[in-house]
Amino acid sequence: MSERAFIETFLRANSDYVTQKYQEKQNVTVTSKDSPVNLLTEVDLTIQKRFIDATAEAWPHDLVVGEESGHDRYPADPNGRIWVIDPIDGTYNFVRGLNPSFAISIAFMQDGLVQAAGVSMPLAGYYFFAEAGGGSFCNGRRLSVSRVQHLESACVEVDFSSVKNRRTILRRGAKIIREAAQLRSHGSAVAAICQIATGDADAYVHPGLHPWDYAAAQLIAEEAGALATRLDGQPLRVFDKKKGVLVTNGALHEQLLASLTR
Amino acid sequence: MSERAFIETFLRANSDYVTQKYQEKQNVTVTSKDSPVNLLTEVDLTIQKRFIDATAEAWPHDLVVGEESGHDRYPADPNGRIWVIDPIDGTYNFVRGLNPSFAISIAFMQDGLVQAAGVSMPLAGYYFFAEAGGGSFCNGRRLSVSRVQHLESACVEVDFSSVKNRRTILRRGAKIIREAAQLRSHGSAVAAICQIATGDADAYVHPGLHPWDYAAAQLIAEEAGALATRLDGQPLRVFDKKKGVLVTNGALHEQLLASLTR
């Protein structure tokens, strides 16, 4: 089985479980991690555990990097075979949210680059897949970014992140926040970046994401024509250390990069 | 038939049409109104037309105020029998959005107050209903606001509105934007205010809504225990002239009002 097929099989086998848990979420165990709004549920843990078990069986020598329970470490050798999973991106939305955005995100890396990626948004019934050089797809439809050319006609998703990082985004993104035609903030990086891939938004900015927040969605967006860089304009790598993320439809990239203050 | 039952019948008869149009939205006719991001679709027009026809038959002497095509005027006598409809709140999301928030909103007013309200979020399958003094419900479940007490642990929905009103919300809401634990912006006032009713968010702030943006949702929220005022703290009336809207779970209201700068 190819890595792409492995990701798809896993996502299709596990998305219904997430939807079911969401629908009975008053019974889901929720704890908080480093801050009261950084939430963890049994669903995050279960999905990650199932993925680790599945990879251990199919690819016993591969490394798994994941958001939860001790797997959130950077690999010693970033060029090896590495799987990067966010079992639920948007856990806060899962716990609190009306028609919320959350997603399961899985990337497969080799030679330091993401080779295959899959994202499931269980409530919406969306499955996104991409392979390096092979385009990206949502429910079988080939994706392509928007053609919006100017900030003043753009829909931009800004992630205001935690209060700790809020100051950074309010300062550096001030012009974007003031001038974008439409501003959205859904609270899931994975869903937000996939939204650039589908052309439903034109740009996304976040002051400092973890690898599992964008590893898969970045490939999905890039294969749809998006540009993704750090906020300093350097190429965005999965194991960058939280240098910020700007994903655009390409046409807007230079303008938005230039608008970011230091 | 009671006004409440009339609203329910209309929403249940028309929500599938909206979902269907969303699913084939590449074929939907979209035009823009006063600005390129203030969009209008054939779906907005069709829903409003159907509602006007339905009320004309059932309540021929009642007035209908609606967002579209010339019905967006304030009534000469605000104490008469008035229906207030937003056929699609969140039209931009309907046209552009991945798992988007949009809603049909209908309020019935008499003696200057909303007596019955209904909201449908077609994609999520949610039907909200409220009657003055009778509580509010989503899909039959009685709603109740959250108990979050402090801004620093609150999830606040901020509507950044159009660029024209952006400066106002960035200035007056600066403390909220800096200090709320979680910040969201989904781009539909109706859905955002219903989110306060369900307890999925703790507060909502908008610099200047139209009557049809909150007439129904305000009653749904208040009947779930929410407080709704203008940004100057005065009682929020449907035909206020865009004085801004603050809806909270009640516990947060005084703190958030005090935080708003002039």
- Which position has the higher pLDDT, B84 or A242? B84
- Residues in B touching A224 (Cβ below 8 Å): none
- Tell which of A103, A121, A142 closes a domain: A142
**What CATH number is associated with residue A80?**
3.30.540.10
Q: Same domain for A114 and A244?
A: no
Average pLDDT estimate for B122-148:
97
- Tell which of A142, A171, A187 closes a domain: A142
Structural domain total, chain A:
2
pLDDT band at A33 (very low <50, low <70, confident <90, very high): confident
pLDDT at res. A100: 94
- Tell which of B142, B172, B195 closes a domain: B142
Inter-chain contact B99–A124, Cβ cutoff 8 Å?
yes
Average pLDDT estimate for B242-249:
93
Q: Same domain for A46 and A167?
A: no
CB-nearest to B178 from A101, A152, A166 is A166
Q: Same domain for B249 and B128?
A: no
Inter-chain contact B155–A195, Cβ cutoff 8 Å?
no
Q: Per-residue pLDDT for A103 more than 90?
A: yes
- Residues in A touching B166 (Cβ below 8 Å): 177-178, 183
Q: Which residues contact B200 (CB under 8 A, 6 or more apart)?
A: A96, A97, A98, A100, B146, B155
**What CATH number is associated with residue B158?**
3.40.190.80
- Which position has the higher pLDDT, A208 or A13? A13
Q: Same domain for A191 and A255?
A: yes
Q: Same domain for B130 and B159?
A: no
Q: Per-residue pLDDT for A111 more than 80?
A: yes
Q: Same domain for A15 and A132?
A: yes
Range of the domain at B218: 151-259
Q: Same domain for A157 and A137?
A: no
Q: Same domain for A224 and A155?
A: yes
Q: Same domain for A156 and A255?
A: yes
Tell me, yes or no, if A239 comes closer than 8 A to chain B by beta carbon. Answer: no
pLDDT at res. A148: 97
Q: Same domain for A249 and A157?
A: yes
pLDDT tens readout for residues A131-154? 999 999 999 999 999 999 999 999
Q: Same domain for A125 and A183?
A: no
Inter-chain contact A155–B92, Cβ cutoff 8 Å?
yes
Tell me, yes or no, if B139 comes closer than 8 A to chain A by beta carbon. Answer: no
pLDDT tens readout for residues B152-188? 999 999 999 999 999 999 999 999 999 999 999 999 9
Average pLDDT estimate for B29-45:
87
Q: E strands of B56-112, at which residues? A: 63-66, 82-89, 103-110
Q: Which ipTM score applies to this complex? A: 0.95
Q: Same domain for B86 and B66?
A: yes
pLDDT at res. B236: 96
Average pLDDT estimate for B219-242:
95
